[in-house]
Amino acid sequence: MDLLDTLTAKGLRGETPTREEALAVLATTDDELLDVVAAAGRVRRRWFGRRVKLNYLVNLKSGLCPEDCSYCSQRLGSKAEILKYTWLKPGEAAEAAKAGVSGGAKRVCLVASGRGPTDRDIDRVTDTVAAIKDADPAVEVCACLGLLSDNQAERLKAAGVDAYNHNLNTSEGTYGDIATTHTYADRVDTVQKAHGAGLSACSGLIAGMGESDDDLVDVVFALRELGSDSVPVNFLIPFEGTPLAKEWNLTPQRCLRILAMVRFVNPDTEVRIAGGREVHLRTMQPLGLHLANSIFLGDYLTSEGQAGQADLDMIRDAGFEVEGMGEGTLPRHRADVVAGATGAAGATHAAGGCGTAPAAGGCGTGGGCGPCGGHAHGAADDGTETAGATDEARTDLVRVRRRGAGTELAPNA
């Protein structure tokens, strides 16, 4: 396919496709899918080798949010029967983090529900980061606390936080359809504040909310322009008790096309499969590893993932390897940009640019402060259904988290 040859050549050079080319990836047929995966897989291996970065979520504060993000089980008015608890103590959060690190995670993502942190909340996170880094200074810490006020990013940076996650979630044009208590511009502002303070920016999207292909391409190009170092791709988990509970719009094939498009637009950026991996990719998860270079280990914020050991087994069986603490994530030219922005000594990078070497290192969430669209899912703009465009509701695969942080049960890692 000329399209794939063109996209592969551009990706191997670190160049982004045109908007039309990105849309064409989403319009490919199921017959073309393996060719699409193979082409984007070459780009992935060029910049990230066969390494898979593992990230571990610690939900510091769950539920009870005053915001109305329609995809979120923690939103105002949510009837989802999730765990609800207020701030974990630093020692409790550090214990949870330790489980993830022991399981192979090199980044811990500290997430709290809410519009944004108070200055007292920044103090709490500061103490938590100290407890985590006292135990293992090499662990990367990403904070995801909502909208930031002036000077809060600087305080997090001074506390030792490495990255800040705040997802754009969907296109600017459709943002008002998914949340009304804050705006797309508010989200952009927080990503820019984080970046400006020298934190590595982690910002991604949520697919499956009913958005169009144009919306997806819009948000992915916006993320590229924003300079996100890490792009979490969430697939909507339609929680019962939330406004999007009936939005079962994704198939494994659609998810793979989306991941391929994100990879082509962000050839040398960390692309992470975030929430909804098990629910929507299902048995096709290993193919996703050919596109993304990063996943979450174990459970998500309010839902359970597959067993951490199953994540590790999948990585090994698919011929990939877990990225070690001492290895870089981003290729050198991107890591240098991050290091320049963060002032980090020894920023995480992969030696040589094509694959495998030293490193450092952005929170998508899968139902929390990160991940979530607009119209015509699964239908081409001319109104014709694309192959495999609609999915059956797999509510049997949605499991509310009942273990780990905020419970008496051991975490899944």
Of 146 and 411, CB closest to ligand SF4 = 146
> Which run of H or E residues covers position 193?
helix 184-196
Q: Looking at residue 357, what DSSP letter applies?
A: -
Give me the catalytic one of 144, 202, 369, 372. 202
Active site residue 109: yes
User: From the DSSP assignment, how many helices (H) and strands (E) are in the chain?
Assistant: 13, 12
d(CA 402, CA 413): 14
Q: How many residues are there in the chain?
A: 413
- In order of 274, 323, 330, 358, 413, the CA distances from 46 in angstroms are 22, 15, 11, 16, 29
Q: Is 146 in the site for ligand SF4 (CB under 6 A)?
A: yes
Active site residue 354: no
d(CA 321, CA 309): 14
Active site residue 65: yes
Count, residues near ligand SF4 per rule CB under 6 A: 11
Of 17 and 367, CB closest to ligand SF4 = 367
Position among 74, 242, 266, 294 found at the interface with ligand SF4 (CB under 6 A)? 74
Give me the catalytic one of 72, 255, 363, 372. 72
Q: Is 113 in the site for ligand SF4 (CB under 6 A)?
A: yes
What is the nearest approach in angstroms of ligand SF4 to the Cβ of residue 369?
3
Nearest CA among 243, 239, 163 for reference residue 204: 163
Beta carbons of 362 and 229 less than 8 angstroms apart: yes
Active site residue 69: yes
Position among 369, 389, 398, 413 found at the interface with ligand SF4 (CB under 6 A)? 369
Beta carbons of 71 and 40 less than 8 angstroms apart: no
Structure token digits, residue 192: 């820019």
Structure token digits, residue 406: 């905020």
Give me the catalytic one of 46, 109, 334, 363. 109
What is the nearest approach in angstroms of ligand SF4 to the Cβ of residue 113?
4
Half-sphere exposure (CA, 13 Å, Cβ side) for 94? 17
Give me the catalytic one of 75, 124, 263, 272. 272
Where does this chain touch ligand SF4 (CB under 6 A) — which range of 66-74, 86-94, 155-163, 387-395?
66-74
Active site residue 255: no
Of 253 and 302, CB closest to ligand SF4 = 302
Which sequence positions are flagged as catalytic? Answer: 65, 69, 72, 109, 142, 202, 272
Contacting positions for ligand SF4 (CB under 6 A): 65, 67, 69, 72, 74-75, 113, 115, 146, 368-369
